[in-house]
Every structure is written in structure tokens, then in C-alpha cells.
Amino acid sequence: MTIALHERLQAQITFAMEIDKLKRIIRRNTLIDGSRRENDAEHSWHLAMMAMTMAEHAPEGTDLDKVVAMLLVHDIVEIDAGDTYIYNRVAVEEQAAREQAAADRIFGMLPPDQAKQLRALWDEFEERVTPEARFAKALDRLAPIVANHHNEGGSWALNKVTGRQVMEKVRIIEEGSPALGEYAARLVATSVARGHIEP
């Protein structure tokens, strides 16, 4: 093995070891059965599987492989930045700066070509301009709605989140997939009707 190849492999191994930390970043949302809170690695894997199984609800021509790749990298920055609760306005205001710094450090561990490739996926997800990014973001917003709906309000109820606040997030789902947006809106309306969250 040449010195250059050894250094490249070592950088890739170092990155792989670093992203193992994603398994210990605990999110606000619980598993669908309510037994415990999920971690970021589980969340990312679950979204990638959702993308594969719900691909027919993506805009026509969407590159599914890119969506899956985006979902696998989208929360890596939370190793440094932590999980930001989307209903905490103060934390959300500070989120971009924390996550940009984390992206610089973590993706920068890779060989330059791979660092550029994975960072571009993360940037695309954050910017939400392409159909792939909008569909990926739609799934990212849909998953906690499904979990909270099946947990009698789950983290919504614990944090006194209202139906109106959740519906603001449903708009992001609609941007990526009208069908998934409609489904999410029905879940929120049902949760309100059942008294699991305030209107």
C-alpha cells in the first residue's frame, strides 16, 4: 500500500469512527412504540428506508439515490451541534452557525474529494432548492409527526406544542411531496381532535 493510499484510508477510518458518535445523540422524539427516545443514527437510517419505500410520492424525476445519501448525512453535524428542537425558537435562531462550524470540522476529516461530495449533499439538504432536498426534508419532518401521533402527542404534549405550530412544519412536507403533506395534515388534525395536542 502506498503512503498516499494509506493516508486516504486512515482519513476514511477516522471519519467512520467519528460518525459513530451519532449513535449517542439523543433526539426529542421517541420511537413509535413510545418505549424510549431515538438517537440520530436510528433517525437517519429510518428516513433513508422511508425514502426507498415512499419514492413514488416524490416529484417525478427525483434522484432517489441522492435523497438516500442526503438523509444519511443530514444530521452528522449534530455530533457537534446537538439536536435542535424545531419548536424552540431561540435554539433554531442559533442553529445555522453551530451546524456550519460542525460541517466544516466533520466533513473536513475526509479526503478532499469525499469531503467536497458529502458536504455538497449536506448543503443541498439545508438549502432545500432541489426536488431531492425538498423530498428529503419532507421525510425528515414527517417521521416525528408519525411518531408523535402514535404516542398520544408524544414530545408535542410534553413541550406544549400546538397544532398550529405543527401545521407550520407540514408546509415544508407539502413542498417536497403534496401526498405526504396531505397525510401529515390529517394526522395533525386527528391528534387535535383526540385532544392529544391543543389546536
Alpha-carbon dihedral 16, 18, 20, 23, rounded to 10 degrees: -150
Joined together, the cell numbers standing for residue 14 give 477516522
Grid coordinates belonging to 181: 403533506
Structural domain contains residue 199? no
Domain assignment present for residue 123? The answer is: yes
pTM for the structure as a whole: 0.95
Please report whether residue 198 resides in a domain.
no
Residue type, 1: M
Question: Residue 51's domain spans which residues?
Answer: 3-193
Say if CB 66 and CB 135 are below 8 A apart: no
CA–CA gap between residue 170 and residue 172 (Å, rounded): 5
168 domain-assigned = yes
Per-residue pLDDT in tens (0 to 9) along the chain, 199 residues: 798 899 999 999 999 999 999 999 999 999 999 899 999 999 999 999 999 999 999 999 999 999 999 999 999 999 999 999 999 989 899 999 999 999 999 999 999 999 999 999 999 999 999 999 999 999 999 999 999 999 999 999 999 999 999 999 999 999 999 999 999 999 999 999 999 999 9
Identify whether the C-beta of residue 79 lies closer than 8 Å to the C-beta of residue 17. no
Q: Is residue 103 part of a domain?
A: yes
H helical segments located in 36-130: 40-53, 64-73, 78-81, 89-107, 112-127
What total number of domains does the chain contain? 1
Is 162 within a domain?
Answer: yes
What CATH number is associated with residue 87?
Answer: 1.10.3210.10
